[in-house]
Amino acid sequence: MHPTNLIARIESTAPLHAAASWDNSGVQIASATSEITTLCVALDPTLETARRAMDQGAQFLLCHHPLALKPRLPDRVDDFHRILSLCLSHGLWLYGAHTSLDANPKGPVNWLGRALDLRDMRILEVTRTETPVLMRLECAEDEAADDDFSRSMTRRNAGLTEYLLWPEEVANFRSQLRTPGGCQEIALAAPVRDYGFGCIGALPQAMNWADFVASLAPLVGPVQRMVGAAPRTVTTVAYCPGSGADLAQSAFARGAQVYLTGDVKYHQAQAVQDQGLTMDVGHFCLEETMMRLWSQELSRELAGMVKVVFLPGRDPFA
C-alpha cells in the first residue's frame, strides 16, 4: 500500500482538522519508502518502540503521542536525535495521531464507553461542530464525481445529481468536477457532526458501587488514586483518556457520579473533591487499550494489503 493511501485511512479515523491547535498530529518523520507492507502501532514513539518496529520489518510506525509537540532541531544527542536518525536511516515513516484521534467520538478513544455499554453518549467538551454541504450538479452526469463519491450520492435523475459532503471532502470534490460551473453548493443546518474531548453516558441500569468496581476492574485494573467519596449507586459515568483532569467539573455538572482520567494534579483534585468521585487510572491505561483496539480494527480493514502489528508499551509508573 502506498503511504498516502495508508495515511488517508488513518486520518479517516483521526482527522487532522479535529486536532487541538497546540498539537502536532500528523506525519512526524517522512520517508522515501513508497510501499508499506507492515504497519506497527504503539502508544509512544520511544527509541525502543522504533527499534522494535524495525525488528518487525515495518516501513510505517503509527503512534498516539507525537515525537515532539513543537518543532525543534536535533541540536543535541538525545532520544529525539536518536529516533530521528534511526527512522531516517532505515526509511521508517513515523506518524502521530494524537488529539486528532482523541477528538473523534466515534473512534477508538471511546472504547471504555462501549465496553461499559453506556447509553446516550455525549462529548464533554465540544471543540468543533460541522454540518455538510449539498453539492447539486444541474447536468446529466459528472463521471469524475461519480467515481470517487458514489457513496455520498443522495439523488440522481436525468438532469440532476446531488451529493452530501462533509467539509473535508468538498475541495477534493471540486477538483474532480469536469463541469465546475454547473455545481451549486448549499450549506445545510443538519445533520450535525461534533468533535471534542471526553465522553459521558448512562449505564444500562443503575449499579451499586461494589458491582461497578467489579465491572471496571477487568478494563482498567486496580485504581490506586481516587478523589472524593464513592457513591452508593452509579448511573452516569464520564471519562477522558490521558490528561483530562480539567474536564472533571464539566463531567460532574452533567450528572456524572464517577469520572475516570489520568494525571490528576493536587489543585485539580482540590477543586472537584466534593463534586463527585474522580478515579485517576493513570495516563497509560486507557490510551494503551485504545491503540491496541485501533490496531485490531486496522488489521481487519487492511487484511491482505498490510500486516498490522501492535507493539505493547510500558507504563513507567507500574
> Cell digits for 151?
457513496
* 182: pLDDT strictly greater than 80: no
pLDDT band of residue 155 (cuts 50, 70, 90) is confident
Spatial contact of 53 and 61, defined as CB atoms under 8 Å apart: yes
Give the pLDDT of residue 158: 67
Mention every residue, 6+ apart, whose C-beta is less than 8 A from residue 135: 145, 162, 163, 164, 165, 170, 173, 183, 184, 185, 186
Give the pLDDT of residue 87: 98
Mean pLDDT in residue range 66-91 = 95
Mean pLDDT in residue range 258-270 = 97
Q: Where are the beta strands (DSSP E) in 88-138?
A: 93-96, 119-130, 133-137
pLDDT digits (tens, 9 = 90+) for 84-119: 999 999 999 999 999 999 999 999 999 999 999 999
Residue tagged 543535541 (cell numbers): 76
Give the pLDDT of residue 147: 59
Mention every residue, 6+ apart, whose C-beta is less than 8 A from residue 31: 3, 59, 87, 88, 91, 92, 93
Mean pLDDT in residue range 287-311 = 98
| Same fold? 108-127+196-281, 132-187 | no
Among 137-151, 171-185, 206-220, where is mean pLDDT lowest? 137-151
The CATH class given to the 3-99+287-310 domain equals alpha beta
pLDDT band of residue 160 (cuts 50, 70, 90) is confident
* Alpha-helix runs per DSSP H in 78-208: 79-90, 99-102, 111-115, 143-149, 167-176
> Cell digits for 14?
483521526
| Percent with pLDDT over 90 in the chain | 84
> What is the torsional sign of CA 138, 143, 144, 146?
positive
pLDDT digits (tens, 9 = 90+) for 10-67: 999 999 999 999 999 999 999 999 999 999 999 999 999 999 999 999 999 999 999 9
Question: Average pLDDT of the chain?
Answer: 94
Domain boundaries along the sequence of the chain:
3-99+287-310, 108-127+196-281, 132-187
Mean pLDDT in residue range 221-236 = 95
Give the pLDDT of residue 148: 67
Give the pLDDT of residue 176: 84
The CATH class given to the 108-127+196-281 domain equals alpha beta
Residue 296: strand, helix, or coil: helix
Q: Check if CATH label 3.30.420 holds for domain 132-187.
A: no
pLDDT digits (tens, 9 = 90+) for 119-152: 999 999 999 999 999 998 876 555 445 556 777 7
Among 35-44, 153-162, 193-202, where is mean pLDDT lowest? 153-162
Q: Look at strands 60-63 and 38-42 and give their pairing.
A: parallel
Mean pLDDT in residue range 192-206 = 97
Type of residue at 274: D
Q: What are phi and psi of 264, to 5 degrees?
A: -75, 125
